[in-house]
Amino acid sequence: MYYKLKDYAALLEQHGLVTEMNMDGSREIRHLSYNSKDIKAGTLFLCKGAHFKEQYLKNAVDAGAVCYISEKKYAVDCEYILVSDIRRAMGYLVNLFFENVWEKLHLIGITGTKGKSTTTYFVRYILDEYLRDQKRPQSAVISSIDTYDGVVNMESHLTTPEPIELHTHFQNAVDSGIGYLTMEVSSQALKYGRVAGVTFEVGCYLNIGDDHISDVEHPDFEDYFQSKLKLFAQSKTACVSLDTLRVEDVLAAAEQAERKITFSTSDTTADIYAYDIRKVGNDTAFRVHAPTFDEEFMLTIPGLFNVQNAVAAISICYALGIPQHYMYVGLMKARSSGRMEIYSNADNRVVVLVDYAHNKMSFETLYQSVQKEFPNRRIYTVFGCPGRKAFQRRHDLGALSGKYSDKVFITEEDPGEEPLRNICEEISIHVRAQGCPYEIVEDRGEAIKKAINAAGGENSIVLVTGKGNETRQKRGTEYVPCPSDVEYTKRFLKEFDIKNNMDAAEKIKSFQDILPAFRKLYNKTILIKLGGSVLEDNALIQNIFEDISVLKMVGARVAVVHGGGKKISKALEAHGVETKFVSGYRVTDKTSIEIVEMVLSGQVNKAIVQGLKNSNINACGLSGKDANIITAAKKTLPEGDIGYVGEVQAVDDTVLKLLLDADIVPVLSPVSSDAQGNTLNVNADDAALAVAERLGVDTLVFITDVDGILLDVENDKTLVNYLDVAKAESLLENGFIGGGMLPKLKNCVKSIQNGVREVVILNGTVKYNLVSNFVTPRKIGTTIGM
């Protein structure tokens, strides 16, 4: 439905915004725009912006605009409505044009000086877990990092978009069948009416601190504070942190909402509060007390301070009626791109933390967290400040970085139309006042590179702040493509390792660092299960042979169990035999088992043995049938007979131990036989687990083509590096693990309980991963232990 011009005029009059008008109210408005290059027939044109020129209006009229709305009258032959506040008028106009489309969404708004993006993503992960079970589309998000509305998936420019773009996102979400949308609501958006006329089902207030105080933003702290409080007048439920400054004023403003929920990480009078906050390995555990539950939660991203954001997300989802189980699962999986992302060089000497921290509150929190979680490391900081806004940051961030850092690298961060050198030199005054060494490096990539190289002489941490995963810099009035901080960090850490490995002294030092780890491998028994794409690629399997050679050199006892499913499928197809699977098991008839044995015990086994010998490793090929190493029984399934498929009944490790004692690598095909001598195809994972238990190996390694266990299979940043049995069982119980990893993890837990010291799941497509897992301080892949 299209409204007439008189409807828009009446709406503006209703809100007391009209100062003068001259128009034909019967005109139908078919389009809204403030871009003179985006004009259609029946366009209502909005004259806004500090750089607006009369020529833009002339161009719009020539292109078909029928009326303009402005704070001033222009000498242009066109109908007009003059208003006292164009920004606030826009909010109401857009609402009418899109017919309050936001009413069809569960709309969540989050404001605060710090934590908005992380809280938004925590809520998104929780909602998406809930929606997945409901067989409904994932939720939409509008944040300072990126925007997803079911149609658009892009990097964001503004924390809260201008009204036309904002309501277009709402419309896209509704058209895509999306029911929930979580968005950051900036103080500027609230002050200038970008969300005017919109009602949030839940409005969440996190905190307040000194930021955005300038002539072009908020003239003083009080204006900033009061702008934030406007959220409550537009919220049905107000979620309020009791840990914020001026909490009494915030609570009083929250009375404007129909319902109020308080939360805290320190005040037990809150409706929802966290307690017993503690580090558990690399994770953060905490309990949450709410009116309807008192449960344990876990975060798998760094930063104890993230518990504050997690409790905010729990409060929001509690207000929405989301069951507690989805809160738990969502927070376990939650990641925010460019937030607290940690990378390190090969020997962990240099750790780089990439984060969006960009104001006083977030900097203070970041440094406090680093001091707790990375003690005794020298700190190097890379940051900049934006042009022509938030001028106080130059003092605050300069002073804080100078106070906490051993050296600061000042660089570019969206300078816009202000000379970059001027920004950097202003920051440097406040760094220098703290007595901290600094360097101005205008090229951001070069600044990150210099910081990593400077940090390389000792255990250090480099903080790269402000841009996260953003791939653009604002230079002048344009956004220019550039690598993200994450991309720079990965590149320069790799260059650092390559450069230092070429240096003889560094090689000796590296050897001194890893020698103790190598010595621990002496006489340890390591069983390696080969599978996945590794067996399909000669270069990849050669990498594994080289790693095994290193393990043998340092005195480890190594055995190999292998699969070969892809090669079996190809051989069956070549022989005209159709491949069928039932519940993940290959249906194997008489003809098929002969081909399976030929491929596994013949071709694959012999190729592995020969490859090891070519790498100067003494190896011996065997199958489960030889010397009755594996006795199996025919596997039965409720779905029916699947033929010559077996499950392990017993393992005789006599021959395997003889070979290991003789410094020979046994290479075992899983083809086995039952008590009657019938050949059976045993799953290679099952065979490896059974052999590992019988041998009592120190480490069982699954070489696969995945990085390890992911909490979210669609997000490689959710890799879990270490699991004890209790945590593994918790993940299984709560439905985190699915697909082919589900039976693997269940069996890994069983093996640990039956005497295997640790099980490791590694990506064999990455060179040296196998050896690196044993000798570098940081774990590669996923390790499961007691």
Token digits of residue 282: 């690399």
What are the start-end ranges of the E strands in 369-418?
378-383, 407-410
Characterize the bridge pairing of strands 79-83 and 146-148. Answer: unpaired
641: three-class secondary structure by DSSP: coil
C-alpha to C-alpha distance for 600 and 581, rounded to whole angstroms: 18
Task: Provide long-range contacts, Cβ within 8 A and 24+ apart, for 19-23.
Answer: 19/82, 19/83, 19/84, 20/73, 20/80, 20/81, 20/82, 21/80, 21/81, 21/82, 22/79, 22/80, 23/67, 23/79, 23/80, 23/81
Scanning 134-241, the segments in alpha helix (DSSP H) are: 163-175, 187-191, 221-229
Task: Provide long-range contacts, Cβ within 8 A and 24+ apart, for 369-374.
Answer: 369/302, 369/303, 369/304, 369/305, 370/404, 370/461, 370/463, 371/404, 372/304, 373/279, 373/302, 373/303, 373/304, 374/461
Are 431 and 380 in contact by the 8 Å Cβ rule? The answer is no
Residue 443 C-alpha from the chain's centroid: 27
C-alpha to C-alpha distance for 522 and 774, rounded to whole angstroms: 12
CB atoms within 10 A of CB 417: 11
C-alpha to C-alpha distance for 503 and 456, rounded to whole angstroms: 13
C-alpha to C-alpha distance for 453 and 291, rounded to whole angstroms: 52
Residues 6+ apart with CB under 8 A from 662: none
Are 701 and 762 in contact by the 8 Å Cβ rule? The answer is yes
C-alpha to C-alpha distance for 555 and 663, rounded to whole angstroms: 9
C-alpha to C-alpha distance for 469 and 700, rounded to whole angstroms: 36
Are 328 and 734 in contact by the 8 Å Cβ rule? The answer is yes
Closest-CA residue to 110 (of 210, 284, 237, 247): 237
145: three-class secondary structure by DSSP: coil
C-alpha to C-alpha distance for 32 and 54, rounded to whole angstroms: 18
Pick out the residues of the known binding site. Answer: 564-565, 586, 681
Are 676 and 632 in contact by the 8 Å Cβ rule? The answer is no
Residues comprising the chain, all counted: 786
The single-letter DSSP state of residue 37 is T
C-alpha to C-alpha distance for 158 and 146, rounded to whole angstroms: 9
Are 588 and 578 in contact by the 8 Å Cβ rule? The answer is no
Q: What would the 3-class secondary structure string for 352-363 be?
A: EEEECCCCHHHH
Q: What would the 3-class secondary structure string for 61-91 be?
A: HHHCEEEEEECCCCCCCCEEEEECCHHHHHH
C-alpha to C-alpha distance for 117 and 110, rounded to whole angstroms: 9
Token digits of residue 623: 């199958």
- Dihedral sign, CA of 727, 732, 738, 740? positive
C-alpha to C-alpha distance for 184 and 243, rounded to whole angstroms: 19
Pick out the residues of the known binding site for substrate. Answer: 564-565, 586, 681
Residues 6+ apart with CB under 8 A from 726: none
Token digits of residue 474: 């604002």
